[in-house]
Each structure stands twice: as structure tokens, then as C-alpha cells.
Structure 1
Amino acid sequence: MEILEKSEGIGALLKNFASLARESQKIIFIGTPGFCTPFAEIAAYSLRKSSKQMGFIGNTDIENAKQLIPTDMGMQLGDTIDYHADTVVLLGGLAMPKIGVEPEELKTTLDSIFEKSQKKLLIGICFQSIFENQGWTDTLDFDYIIDSDMTVSLKKI
């Protein structure tokens, strides 16, 4: 795995994502409901002014894909949409052991999502190298992974 760029902050994550998705027509984010949904919304927000269609799938429930739509309050989930896309973004919450989603199961989901697409782009967005640490990079053919670390400080003033 080759590191293409090192930068810091949420702005860098969003800039890298927007750059990778610039040629995409339709982007489907896949993550755990609740935990990953806000990360999909913030990543989608970086493309809010584009004409790209975007949606979110909870776990592997492709039949209940929801549209990500821009509102005056940011990106929000909307109505059910067709799950087919040329770009899929896997969110790291899926790889947490307690979630129970296996990468082999996702291969079938990805095949269904990409079945009508000539171009196929698979991006991972995660924290603390979870896709690598859980062995997902051995099973899934990621084109790119945006990997972040998070430092948390609780301060009493």
C-alpha cells in the first residue's frame, strides 16, 4: 500500500474524498446505521453543489438504499433510491467486529451495486486503519482508502 498524501483534519479528509470522486456519477456510501450515517452525510456535503447522485445503504440492505439530499441543514437521508452506482464508499464502522458484517458478504453486495456500471471505484473511509487491521484489504479490492486517526482530549476548564 502506497501513501499518496499525508494531511490533517476533517477538511483534508473531505478534500481527498471530493478529489477521488470527481469523475463519479453516482456514489453509494455503505456503513452501519447511526454510527456511519453522519460520516456519509459529511462526506456527501463536500459534493453538495455537484450534480452527483448520492445514497446510503445501512450494512448490506441494498433494497433500502436512501438518497442523500442537500438541505438547509446539511445533507439528510431522503427517499429510497436505486442502489446501482459507479462509486462505492465503505465506511469503517462496518469493519468493527461487533457489527457482524463480513467482507465476503460485502463482495456480493458490491457486485450487485456495480452490475450496471462500466467504471467501478471502491473507496474506504476509516479511522485507525480498521480495514487493514481487520483483514478487509485482503478480501476487498479497494482502489483507495482514506485513513484517519483521531485524538480526543477531554478538558476541564
Structure 2
Amino acid sequence: MEIISTSKGIGGQLTEFRKLVNGSKRITFIGTVGFCTPFAELMAFVLRETGKESIFLPNLQSGEARIIVSSPQGMQLGDIADPSADTVVLLGGLAMPKIGVEPEKMKVLVDDLLRDTEKKLVIGVCFQSMLIDQKWPEVIDFDYIIDADLTNEVKKA
């Protein structure tokens, strides 16, 4: 994989994401319930005034997809939504072995969500190379993967 840009922090990650989806109209984030949901909401936050639609789909459950809406309290999951899109964002929590999502089944879902659009974009967003280490790019045709590292320091004041 070729590195096409680098950035630092959550702000850098969100800026890179916003650039990648510039031409998108409808974005479906797929991730695990709880762990990935706030990341989808965070990424949808930087798109809130662009006119792009954002949807969150838990795991492989198409019937549970929900629109991500902007509210005075921030981005939140709203009503049930059609998950079809021109852009699919796979979040790294899906690839964690304990979650049990098979990339082959995810590929079928991704292909189905993108079937009615000519311009298709598949993006992975993960931490510590989770999608890459679990070999998801060998099954799913990603256009881009945003791979971030976290460094944590706990300091006693």
C-alpha cells in the first residue's frame, strides 16, 4: 500500500476523511455497535453542513441502518434509513477477531449497498492497522484506508 498523505491527531484524521469523500453524496458507515458508533458520528460531524447524507449500519444488519442527524447535542442516530450509498466506510472495529464479522460476508454487503451507483468509493478507517493486519484488503476492494495510531500517556498531576 502506498502512503499518499500523513496527518496528526483526530483533527488530521477528520480532515483527510473529509477530503476523500468530497465528491460523495450518500455515505454509509458500517461498524460495531457502541465502539464504532461514536467514530461514525464524529466523521459525520465534519460533513454536517455539506448536504451529504450519513447513515450508520451496525455489523451486517442492513435492516438496522439509521440516518445520522445533527442536533443541538451533536450527531446522533435517527430513524431507520436505506443503507444504499455511493460511499461505504468500514470501521476497524469490525475486523477485531472477537467481533466475528467475516470479511467475505462484508464484501457481499458492500457490493449490495453500492450496486445502484456508478461512482463507488470504499474507505476503511481503523487504528493500529486493524483492517490490514486482519487481511481485509485481500477480500474487500478498498479505495483508501485511513490508518491511525494512538499514543496514550497517563500523567499524575
TM-score range, shorter chain: over 0.9
The equivalent of 1:63 in structure 2 is 63
The equivalent of 2:129 in structure 1 is 129
RMSD: 0.7
TM-score in terms of structure 2 length: 0.98
Local SS of the residue matching 2:113: helix
**Shift in Å at residue 40 of structure 1?**
0.2
**Shift in Å at residue 112 of structure 1?**
1.4
Q: Which has the higher mean CA deviation after the structures are superposed, 35-44 or 112-121?
A: 112-121
**Shift in Å at residue 154 of structure 1?**
1.4
Mapped partners of 1:18, 1:74: distance in 2:
18
Q: Does 1:9 align with 2:13?
A: no
- Among the aligned pairs, what percent are the same residue? 52
Residue deviations 1:11-55 (CA, integer Å, cap 9, x gap): 110000000001001000000000000000000001010111110
Local SS of the residue matching 1:98: coil
Mapped partners of 2:30, 2:137: distance in 1:
16
Mapped partners of 2:134, 2:115: distance in 1:
27
Mapped partners of 2:59, 2:16: distance in 1:
24
Mapped partners of 1:64, 1:145: distance in 2:
25
Runs of 5+ consecutive residues of structure 1 not aligned to the other structure: none
TM-score in terms of structure 1 length: 0.98
Mapped partners of 1:78, 1:28: distance in 2:
14
Local SS of the residue matching 1:82: coil
The equivalent of 2:138 in structure 1 is 138
4+ residue segments displaced more than 6 Å: none
Q: Does 1:99 align with 2:87?
A: no
Runs of 5+ consecutive residues of structure 2 not aligned to the other structure: none
- Work out the number of aligned pairs and report it: 157
**Shift in Å at residue 69 of structure 1?**
0.5
Local SS of the residue matching 1:99: coil
- The one-letter code sitting in structure 2 at the alignment partner of 1:8 is K
**Shift in Å at residue 72 of structure 1?**
1.2
Local SS of the residue matching 2:98: helix
